[in-house]
Structure 1
């Protein structure tokens, strides 16, 4: 993993459901955001002001990204059913953090994958936070 970043082992079910719902609602345009982790679990999606999107790309303005040490990566959608990253995706992965999620149409619980900055798949457990705190 990237130096200086805490190890992430999961994503909260609530956060994954939010990502899938926002991806559905912005379809056929791409959706993009940043990922925040708490206690080793991706727990929030941060929307960057000035982000633009269309049916082939989404752009976040780097100078609008928050200075937040809990940000661990990025998320974006693919309006077609293709979870593979592009060369542009791989370039973006390197500057957003070690955990980069792609969700693809039709945006179900099976239509997502997490990559590290080199394009290697990272297995993340979907965590039900209510069970975790019980």
Structure 2
């Protein structure tokens, strides 16, 4: 696939990183949907963790968690899709921004892990994909050369 004005081919590692970013973006789409669908379980969890909360406070806390999760993951979804598209342009800033965003997402997932068991099965898988994206952009020689020409 030729994608730049200088007719350079996108290395396989960068193409795989782009595909992984799309998969990661899809996970950011699924998270708020699952949270909204499981709001009852989320309320139960909040009530268990905060027994002093009344029913209204538990409901409000669950609503805040769902809305803030949707906003946060919505932003990450857009960032991942934008970066997946822009990486093919071989601009160094796209590799740096992808690296920072994916590593910060791994760090933020610690918060998700500690706040709710709802996504314990998914968080490590997505984290591995995020680290793989970074490795694919920095480790293979063809990928490094692609961003330094």
TM bucket by the smaller chain? under 0.3
Whose RCO is larger (CA < 8 A, sep 6+)? 2
Considering only CA atoms, is the larger Rg found in Structure 1 or Structure 2? 2
TM-score by length of 2: 0.22
TM-score by length of 1: 0.24
**Higher fraction of strand:** 1
**Higher fraction of helix:** 2
